Chain A
Amino acid sequence: MDKVTLEILGRQVTAAAEGMGFTLQRTGRTLYVKEASDFGTALVGLDGRFFGYPRTIGVSHFLDLDCGPTLRAVPDLEDGDVIITNHPFLSEGLSTHLPDLNLIRPYFHEGRIVAYGWCFIHSADIGGRVPSSISPSNTDLFQEGLMIPPMKLVRRGEMNPDFLTLYRSNVRTPDQNMGDVRAQLAALHVGRLSVAEMIAQHGVDVFLEAQEALQDYADQKARAVFARIPDGEYHAWDYLDDDMVSTFPVRIRLTLRVNSGRFALDFSGTDPQVATAYNIPTLGRRHAWFTARLIGCVATHDPSIPMNAGVYRAVTAFAPAGSVVNAEPPAAVGVRQPTGRRIFDMMTAALLQGDRTLMAAASGGVSTPVVLAEEETAQGDRNVVVLEPMIGGMGAREGHDGVDGRDSGTSNLANNPIESIEAAAPVLVLHYGLREDSGGPGRWRGGAGLAFTFKVLRDGCTVLARGMERCRFPPWGAFGGRPGLPFRVILNHGLPGEQVIGKIDQLSVEAGDTVTILTPGAGGFGDPFVRDPEAVLRDVILRVVSAESAARDYGVVIREGAVDAEATEALRAARPPRDTAGIDYGEEREAYEAVFDDDAMARLNAALFALPRRQRGRARLRVMQAAVPDMPQAGHRPLVEVLADSGAARLRFEDALAALVRA
């Protein structure tokens, strides 16, 4: 089609989706909408894919969701109908956990459907075992709330009253939820008006043609970026610290196969789904949680790319059924976000191996709201306050240091002012700043994480921190760049009774206790021993890097506020040659993989997947525990100590695996 019209319609469909988003944000009731921007809107083509998606509002990483299966599940759509679903499996991954309430409305023109409007909101509560519905320790979907298969919420403009009655009686905040539903309907209405305007301006044929043409255009642009990666196979894997049932890490594995700008993502070798809520329901196909990182990659290198599903046309994906990234019902999926974050990092690592200028080293990779809950009062009230949504730094990349204390790729939420925290919760913030020496050393330094210390002023409080990861294996460095420091939580840091806490489930604290949260520093890029000594000096003057680290990690000697050139040269020359190819995952992961390497894990998983699904978790734990009976909690004893005798552990592993295979 005519390319001027294409450019104009590209702007208009984005604006239409954004207009829906503003309506949703203005009229939605739940705090997730107003304060965490956890909602989405889009225009959907006849194929169920998004051809108009916002750039500036709502979540950015759901561009690759597919409405097709939901649409096929509800045939005979009439003008004025609206479909509702939150069912991860029956929507085939359109909704990826139950609080995400998805609505779809067909847009008719002269008696036929010409597009659909889509939106979702993360509801404050959808029922289930715990208030707000999400808990890592949920063990199946039935505990996570009310399940709504794809069905009609509105029929020819009339709400289904029976559905509403059922819905209201199954959630803890019915009025808020109904407010959200009304906001979603308003957004879908606004989308319909925009579609009508575009058709009036350009004609229905051009509008229909544009849905395809815009995706073709995005496809061409995406491929131009993908084509920078040489053909071949790129491997990356990463770990969740544990699954909350045992202390063993959960591994996700990716093979990226590149063939002239086409990507095939293969998650074979990924561990079985877990008994807790970290699973992702993707149906094993191409899915937003697999491909989210690619939009950042493409949009960074070509900011003019239109936001639509065409970005992914050159991408296919496979994940084994029953794995943690393609969970089967009734797996709990509430806390799929940390798992998704690991996939972001693996995709980054795979792309970097193909082209070192394409991506940055690993970012802090966490988004952890630190929450203080006071004791329940006699009246049954409980003051619960989010102190800070804690994130790490951003990774270094070719030619640039990472950003300190920010990580846009994770959630990009604003923090809370200390003045607001102290007015809302019985705490005194003793320190909130950069975590010095935490950024991975490199020719370009990884962004520093954050340090946050507060003193509790009242007895009987509980500290919660959902989504803590990177406690065990830190964010990795690339091409000679070193990893950053891992996540740490310390009770009474530097005081009597100091205690390093691993991942916080629920930490009980009393008045006078201090809690220190240290978020991961991001990975460095390039060999730190070739970093410009003046840049190292600047970091030391700014106290982001200590003089000790300058000498140890960068080979730069700083004396009396200046670089000692001679000593620096000597120190740098004395270092044995280092391998600066590929990714540096750090010593802890090396120690772990000296026992549990890629090959061992592949054989273990082959054996596990041969078992019935329900037996896999326990069988896996038996083998892992046989190999390492005293696996410490993430962030406690270092694995380089625990696994010092990797040979023996390896033998025990082989024995246990053989026993499993025999059985």
Chain B
Amino acid sequence: MSASDDRSAAGRGGLNPPRQTSAEVRIGIDVGGTFTDFVLSGAPGGLVFHKEPSTPADPSAAVESGLVAVVAKAGLAMGDVTLVVHGTTLGLNAIIQRRGGPIGLVTSPGNTDVLEVARCRMPNSVDFHLTKEAALVPRNLCFAIPARLMVDGTVLMRPEPADYDRVAGSLRAAGVATVAVMLLHSYLHPALEAEVARELAARLPGVAISASAQIWPESREYERALVAVLNGFIAPLMQGYFSRLESRLAARGLTAPISITTSNGGSVGLRSAGERPIETVLSGPASGVVAAAQAAAGTRFTQLITLDMGGTSSDIALTKAGEPEYTTRTTVGDFPLVMPVVNVSAIGAGGGSILWVDPQGVLKVGPRSAGAAPGPVCYGRGGTEPTVTDCYLAIGWIDPDAFLGGRMRLDRAAAEAALLPLAARLGFTGADAPARVAEAALAVATAAMATELAKGLAQRGEDASQFALMPFGGAGPTHANLLAEAARLPAVLVPPAPSTFCALGAILADVKRDFVRSLRLRLGAEGAMARLRAALSALSAEATNWLAGEGTMLAGHILSATTEMRYAGQSFELTVDWTAEAFDDPTPDMLAELFHRVHEGVYGFRDTASAVELTSLRVRVTGRMAPVELPAAPMLPSAAPPGTRRVFRAGSWRDVPVWRREALGFGAEVAGPAILEQEDSTLVLLPGWVLRADRQGNLEMLRAATSTP
């Protein structure tokens, strides 16, 4: 999949990087809707966690106060910190809420509607009430310039100075803050587009102009234009935030560099992030997946499905052998994004999903959500409709006094009261009615999640029995066992501090960026391999040069390549990861065989009679961070559970043992049913399952029948 690189300027590949030294103090930060999470590594006592209430108006305020708090908690000074890695959903929110811009778009003649036409599709074909996505660049801010290339690079039209003057004048009059330029075929022949960008920049001081091929030179004009437009749309906002953040933290005495996590599960320096904020938009969930993949390293579970249960939805991702699954077909808000990102997809209800009963008397969960505000009824923040979280409370899974370590008291009576009207509609009576509704709702929500999960696996041709579920986020561990049972997953692996996982992922994230070239070549054709090799070395050089500017924290780096390939005549490509052997010396046969194998896996057959085409090459540079030493769990004897709790299951209440998670050292075993509480989450173990603590502080949950060694 990847290859050590021994030709690069930055030195030999670091397959055995040094362990982190105690002198390194890293802080990971993840900004969520309710809390901003902090994880500090490198302190004498191991990892230090902290949660700070978020400040949505200016997220950097919570970052500042939380950073001060976590450094103090660790007994360190600000000057001891060597790196801050920060994840933010600011860019994503700006896109969803259309808070960026104003931005202009300049295209070849006849192509100004590239965003309007898009790919001509609606999200589905049965809902007539769907509307089109609100435009990022309204039609009157899209301008044609007489610049046109043919597919072979022939310049059909080249603008005159008067054309530049005219278009620049229109853009100035429109008052745009940024401009994206996208010419047809610039992905193969970027010079004319760069020239247009340059000429317009000279006439529009103070307006940032980006050329599509400079950001992401891949074929398909709509998707390429979108990358440039989305980037330009959020750039002013993000740059403003980054500089505010930098000055706030500098004022507190921080001298360490700041990195920003990226959608591909990596991180980049603040300057790179400011230039290409589009790379950061899906970074939050990606970091959690990175942390999961690393937390499972050293366990016997090599294939994971991660489960991040948030307020509005539950997200899953797959990892294999420590590597997340990537995709180049994802969406940001309403828009497709073709850059490679960690493949995270929603499978249904989150903790804030609302319960309701339809006119036919059938219980439903979601898709409406109470989100973080007003939130579940039990939060007492104005929510009146019962949610999934209220259900956990009503059946006794969550202790209302121990939520978030007791920092937030939950109102169980209010949750039960909110469930009662549904009970009447469903025909549940008696004192147990709220609990019966809650149990039914969790069954409905779980069935929906399980079927979505099964669908996702079916689409990939994967088999559920080969994966362990790793939950994180606040509610993930609470719901994980239910989902594993319904989805027929053999195991659940719960990491030590699941609720601050994205912040932990930020610390663990390597420095990463992807570089792309479009090629359009046919394997075996005259000159094809020469072009491919030339592109490979050009991209490799570009990648290592970029990395050299990303600071000195790195323990070495690796380069890897993927290509988009297809059989001649197909209009969709498949992504093919190159082996190290292919990276070092690619041959047509080797690449064709790699493609055949992927095609066989995805589509069930190979077509050796057809020629194989290669449309683009991507090179990823990964600057490896020294891994964080995660503390080993102490060996503790299994003691008796410290308490019990009344839990509703299958129509009746029974006492279930409640453990403190800290009490379970390496080797400890618990048989379900049981509840495990820790500061940031509650773990539920169902009857028929057993749990065992491993050496790294993870808890393995297995079906009782298969758990005997």
Report A's interface with B, CB cutoff 8 A. 3-4, 6-8, 11-12, 14-15, 18-19, 22-23, 26-27, 29, 31, 34-35, 55-56, 60, 179, 183, 186, 190, 217, 220-221, 224, 295-297, 299-300, 302-304, 359-360, 389, 391, 394, 397, 400, 403-406, 408-409, 411-420, 422-423, 428-434, 450, 453, 541-544
**A450 contact set on B, CB distance < 8 A:** 117, 120
Given contacts A221-B358, A221-B359, 18 further A-B contacts (CB under 8 A): A3-B363, A4-B440, A7-B447, A12-B451, A26-B602, A221-B360, A400-B129, A403-B122, A415-B117, A417-B222, A419-B185, A422-B151, A423-B520, A430-B109, A430-B110, A432-B111, A542-B140, A543-B140
Contact A397 to B151, CB < 8 A, known contacts A4-B440, A415-B117: no
CB pair B360–A220 under 8 Å, yes or no, is yes
Given contacts A296-B125, A418-B221, contact A11 B131 (CB under 8 A): no
Closest 6 CB pairs of A and B: A433-B113, A408-B122, A27-B604, A15-B451, A431-B110, A415-B120
Which of A303, A304, A543 contacts B127 (CB under 8 A)?
A: A303
Residue of B nearest to A9 (CB): B447
- Give the complex CA separation of A200 and B440 in angstroms: 20
Given known contacts A7-B364, A544-B139, is B129 in contact with A300 (CB within 8 Å)? yes
B532 smallest CB distance to A (angstroms): 18
**Residues in A neighbouring B363, C-beta threshold 8 A:** 3-4, 7
Q: Does B201 contact A (CB under 8 A)?
A: no
Query: Which of A190, A409, A412, A543 is within 8 Å of B139, CB to CB?
Result: A543
Q: How far is the CA of A241 from the CA of B88 in the complex (A)?
A: 56
Chain B positions within 8 Å of A, measured between CB atoms, are 109-113, 116-117, 119-132, 138-140, 150-151, 156, 184-185, 187, 219-223, 358-364, 426, 440, 443-444, 447-448, 451-452, 454-455, 458-459, 461, 520, 570-572, 602-605
Residues of B contacting A541 with CB < 8 Å? 140
Q: A179-B605, A542-B140 known; A408 and B364 CB under 8 Å?
A: no
Write out the residue numbers on chain A whose beta carbons fall within 8 Å of the beta carbon of B220.
Answer: 417, 419-420
Tell me the minimal C-beta distance from A373 to chain B in angstroms: 15
- A542→B139 contact, CB < 8 A: yes
B120–A405 contact, CB under 8 A? yes
Query: Which partner residue on chain B sits nearest A34 by CB separation?
Result: B572
Q: Which residues of B contact A400 (CB under 8 A)?
A: 129, 131
B605 touches A23 (CB 8 A): no
Is there an interface contact between A26 and B444, defined as CB atoms closer than 8 Å?
A: no
| A391 x B120 contact (CB < 8 A) | yes
Q: Are A3 and B426 in contact (CB under 8 A)?
A: yes
Contacts of B185 in A (CB 8 A): 419, 422
Q: Which of A60, A179, A422 is in CB contact (< 8 Å) with B125?
A: A60
**6 A-B contacts (beta carbon < 8 Å):** A4-B363, A26-B604, A60-B126, A408-B128, A412-B125, A428-B156
By a CB distance below 8 angstroms, the chain B residues around A18 are 455, 458
Once the chains bind, are A11 and B116 in contact (CB under 8 Å)? no
Given contacts A417-B220, A419-B185, contact A217 B362 (CB under 8 A): yes
Q: B151 near A419 (CB under 8 angstroms)?
A: yes
Contact of A422 among B112, B117, B122, B150 (CB under 8 A): B150
Give A303 to B124 CA distance when docked, in angstroms.
Answer: 12
A406 touches B121 (CB 8 A): yes
Q: Are B362 and A296 in contact (CB under 8 A)?
A: no
Query: Contacts A34-B572, A541-B140: A295 and B126 contacting too (C-beta < 8 A)?
Result: yes
Residues of B within 8 A of A408 (CB): 121-125, 127-128, 130
A583 to B267 alpha-carbon distance, docked (Å): 58
* Assembled-state Cα–Cα distance A464/B117 (Å): 22
When distances are taken between beta carbons in the complex, the residues of chain A under 8 Å from B602 are 26
CB distance from A348 to the nearest CB of B (A): 9
- Give the complex CA separation of A220 and B358 in angstroms: 11
**How far, in angstroms, from A303 to B368 measured CA to CA in the complex?**
12
Q: Are B458 and A19 in contact (CB under 8 A)?
A: yes
Q: Give B365's nearest chain A residue, CB to CB.
A: A7
Contact with B128, one of A15, A26, A359 (Cβ below 8 angstroms): A359
B448: A residues at CB distance < 8 A: 11
Among A22, A27, A56, max chain B CB count under 10 A is at A22
In Å, the complex CA distance between A224 and B185 comes to 53
* Cα separation A214 to B187 with both chains bound (whole Å): 51
Q: Are B116 and A433 in contact (CB under 8 A)?
A: yes
Q: Decide yes or no: A8 and B443 within 8 Å by CB, A303-B127, A431-B110 being known contacts.
A: yes
Contact residue among B116, B222, B360 (Cβ-Cβ distance under 8 Å from A404): B116
- Chain A neighbourhood of B126, CB < 8 A: 60, 295-296, 299-300
CA distance A414 to B520 in the complex (A): 21
Whether A404 pairs with B132 at a CB distance below 8 angstroms is yes
Q: Please give, as numbers and ranges, the residues of chain B lying within 8 Å of A429 by CB-CB distance.
A: 110-111
Contact present for B127 and A299 (CB under 8 Å): yes
- With a cutoff of 8 Å between Cβ atoms, the chain B residues found around residue A414 in the complex are 119-121
- Measured between C-beta atoms, what is the minimum distance from B310 to chain A in Å? 21
- Asked if B219 and A419 sit within 8 Å, CB to CB, the answer is yes
In the complex, the answer to whether B572 meets A35 with C-beta atoms within 8 Å is: yes
A420 to B110, CA, bound (A): 16
Max count, chain B CB within 10 A of own CB: residue among A23, A34, A542: A542
Shortest C-beta distance, A340 to chain B (Å), equals: 14
Residues of B close to A35: CB separation below 8 A = 571-572
Q: Are A397 and B128 in contact (CB under 8 A)?
A: yes
- Give min CB distance, A189 to chain B, whole Å: 12
Q: Which residue of B lies closest to A35 (CB)?
A: B571
A15 and B454 form a contact (CB under 8 A): yes
Query: Looking across the interface, which residue of chain B has its beta carbon closest to that of A388?
Result: B120
The answer for the CA separation of A402 and B151 in the assembled complex, in Å, is 35
Query: In the complex, are the beta carbons of A423 and B151 less than 8 A apart?
Result: yes
A403 to B129, CA, bound (A): 10
Q: Is the CB of A418 within 8 A of B119?
A: no
Q: A11: which B residues are within 8 A, CB to CB?
A: 447-448, 451
CB distance from A445 to the nearest CB of B (A): 13
Q: Which residue of B lies closest to A218 (CB)?
A: B360
- Which of chain B's residues have a CB closer than 8 A to the CB of A431? 109-111
Residue ID in chain B nearest A59 by CB atoms: B125
- The answer on a CB contact under 8 Å between A300 and B127 is yes
CA of A423 to CA of B604, assembled, Å: 29
Contacts of A543 in B (CB 8 A): 139-140
B642 to chain A, nearest CB (A): 34
Report the separation of the CA atoms of residues A13 and B219 in the bound assembly, to the nearest whole angstrom: 39
A199 to chain B, nearest CB (A): 15
CA distance A408 to B459 in the complex (A): 23
Q: How far is the CB of B150 from chain A (nearest CB, A)?
A: 7
- Which residue of A4, A19, A417 is within 8 Å of B443 (Cβ)? A4
Question: How long is the Cα–Cα vector from A397 to B461 in the complex, in angstroms?
Answer: 41
Given known contacts A7-B447, A296-B127, A403-B131, is B364 in contact with A304 (CB within 8 Å)? yes
Q: Which residues of A contact B125 (CB under 8 A)?
A: 60, 296, 408-409, 411-412
A403-B117 Cα distance, complex, nearest whole Å: 11
| Nearest opposing residue in chain A for B448, CB measure | A11
Question: In the assembled complex, how far is the CB of residue B550 from the closest CB belonging to chain A, in whole angstroms?
Answer: 32
CB distance from A320 to the nearest CB of B (A): 30
> What is the bound-complex CA distance between A405 and B114, given in angstroms?
11
Q: How far is B120's CA from A406's CA once the two chains are assembled, in angstroms?
A: 5
Q: Residues of B contacting A360 with CB < 8 Å?
A: 128
Q: Which residues of A contact B132 (CB under 8 A)?
A: 403-404, 406
A453 touching B110, Cβ below 8 Å: yes
Find chain A residues with CB under 8 A from B364 CB: 7, 304
Residue in B closest to A217 when the chains form the complex, CB atoms: B360
Tell me the bound Cα distance from A434 to B222 in angstroms. 15
Q: Is the CB of B361 within 8 A of A3?
A: yes
Q: Which residues of A contact B571 (CB under 8 A)?
A: 35, 416, 420
The answer to whether A186 touches B121, judged by C-beta atoms less than 8 angstroms apart, is no
Is A22 within 8 A of B458, CB to CB? Answer: yes
* B72 CB → nearest A CB, Å: 49
Residues of A within 8 A of B222 (CB): 417
Distance to closest chain A CB from B398 (angstroms):
22
Known A-B contacts A8-B443, A19-B454; the reply to A433 vs B122 at CB < 8 A is no
Q: Determine if A417 and B444 form an interchain contact, defined as CB atoms under 8 angstroms apart.
A: no
What's the Cα separation between A6 and B358 when bound, in Å? Answer: 13
Q: Could you say which residues of chain B place their CB within 8 Å of the CB of A422?
A: 150-151, 184-185
